[in-house]
Chain A
Amino acid sequence: MKPVPCLKRREVVTALLADRGDLLVVAGLGATAWDVAAVEDHPHDFPLWGAMGGAAMVGLGLAFAQPSRKVLVITGDGEMLMGMGSLATIAAARPRNLRVVVIDNERYAETGGQRTHTAFSADIAAIALACGFPYARTVREADEIEPLRADIHQLNDLFLAVIKVALTHDPKALPPRDGAYLKNRMRAALLESQVVFE
């Protein structure tokens, strides 16, 4: 029997984003974007409302462009499975300031709760390691969250963590959905004023 996950996604994401400093966050579409928005609406966040499968690659571009900052991609198991090839691309590039956290409830929760491949056999942490990620692990217990939060800020290398979470029905917490606004907000927060609207 597979263990039933006990971790709750909203609590996990809130804990991971505590004392975030100048951390940059890309959130994959659907529940992970709502999770990040439920913590706060932050100018260093880029929540996706579409572009399924692209969250990790948006993170890679941002990590390349901002090498002095840590970039955290928070996305779901369905979104990550769609962009599985990007794990190979990212591992080959090995950006030391990028970290990917997959909130894995083994379901397409936004579309009726259909099971994803992680409910059966797919192990995203193992996939990342096989692609060449130097570090990857699957987190199941509450006492593993704080060490993961510390790694996000302190580990000077690429890594991926899968966090197995329970199926929960959380209140909707929607970030702004105007993409041009989200883009300009992040650039204004990151770049010199003369560059933002160049």
Chain B
Amino acid sequence: MMTTIMRQNLSDLTRHWAHDIYEVFQVQGVSMVSYVPDAGHVDLIKLCEADEKMRVLSLTTEEEGVAFAAGAYLGGKRAALLMQSSGVGNCINMLSLIKTCQLPFLTLVTMRGEFGEFNPWQIPMGQATPAILSAIGLIVYRVDAPSEVRDVIEAAVGLAFNGYSGVAVLLSQRLIGIKRFKEEK
């Protein structure tokens, strides 16, 4: 009995939070995902690609995903955009579409340039990301702990698709894990 409980707990600890996001997508009918990849999105992309009912689209630049989500919603489908914080700047003018058309829009942004960043080139865009997203009219949430992921994603999907709003969820660098190229050698 004790062993079983411990195993369950261990399972909870090792289960990646990407499963929480994927399950919310399923329940809330988010059936399309577009992305410019980031290491922090690897597990979620794998889960979505393994699901035959989901359309998963690779992009050349993040702003394509904004326009794609707009078209999908016009046709009655819910799409989410996955990107790294460095891609946020690529999207700014395209996000006008979201605000001016009152389109539901959800993007999940894996953060760089903050907690423990070693690459100085990531810092300017990472630090500017929340302010830039707010400035163009998106509602910005932030997640720092794995235990918060499900609740925040649920709230974000609801606010986007029930509230006809653009919503960005910043998945913090602390949540994702710090990238250390030196250790990967």
CB atoms of A89 and B58 under 8 A apart: yes
Asked, given contacts A58-B68, A65-B76, whether A183 binds B102 with beta carbons under 8 Å apart, the answer is yes
Q: Is A66 an interface residue (CB 8 A)?
A: yes
Q: How far is the CB of B83 from chain A (nearest CB, A)?
A: 14
Contact with B along A45-68 (1 / 0, CB 8 A): 010111111111111111111100
Identify the stretch in A102-110, A117-125, A159-167, A184-192 within 8 Å (CB) of chain B at 4 or more residues: A184-192
**B60 with A64: CB separation less than 8 A:** no
A89 engages B102 (CB within 8 Å): no
Q: Which of A46, A52, A53, A64 contacts B72 (CB 8 A)?
A: A64
Q: Are B76 and A92 in contact (CB under 8 A)?
A: no
Count class of interface residues, chain B: 20 to 34
Interface residue from B66, B75, B100, B161 paired with A64 (Cβ < 8 Å)? B75
Question: Is there a chain B Cβ closer than 8 Å to A195's Cβ?
Answer: yes
Are A50 and B70 interface neighbours, CB within 8 A? no
B96: chain A residues at CB < 8 Å are 50-51
Most central of B64, B96, B161 by chain A CB within 10 Å: B64
- Are B77 and A187 in contact, with the CB atoms below 8 A? no
Q: Quick check: is A4 within 8 A (CB to CB) of the other chain?
A: no
Binary interface encoding of chain B residues 71-106 relative to chain A, with 1 for a CB under 8 A from any of its CBs, else 0:
111111101000000000000011011001111000
Q: In the complex the two chains form, is B55's CB within 8 Å of A64's CB?
A: yes
Question: Which of A65, A88, A89 is within 8 Å of B71, CB to CB?
Answer: A65
Name the one of A50, A83, A183 contacting B64, with C-beta atoms under 8 angstroms.
Answer: A83
B47 in contact (CB, < 8 A): no
Q: How far is the CB of B1 from chain A (nearest CB, A)?
A: 46
- Is A1 on the interface with B (CB-CB < 8 A)? no
CB interface residues, A 129-172, toward B, < 8 Å:
none
- Which residues from chain A contact B74 at a C-beta distance below 8 Å? 46, 58, 61-62, 65, 183, 186-187, 190
A55 to B46, CA, bound (A): 28
User: Which A residues touch B102, using CB under 8 A?
Assistant: 179-180, 183
Residues of A participating in the B interface, judged by any CB pair closer than 8 Å: 26, 46, 48-66, 83, 85-86, 88-89, 92-93, 179-180, 182-183, 186-187, 190-191, 195, 198
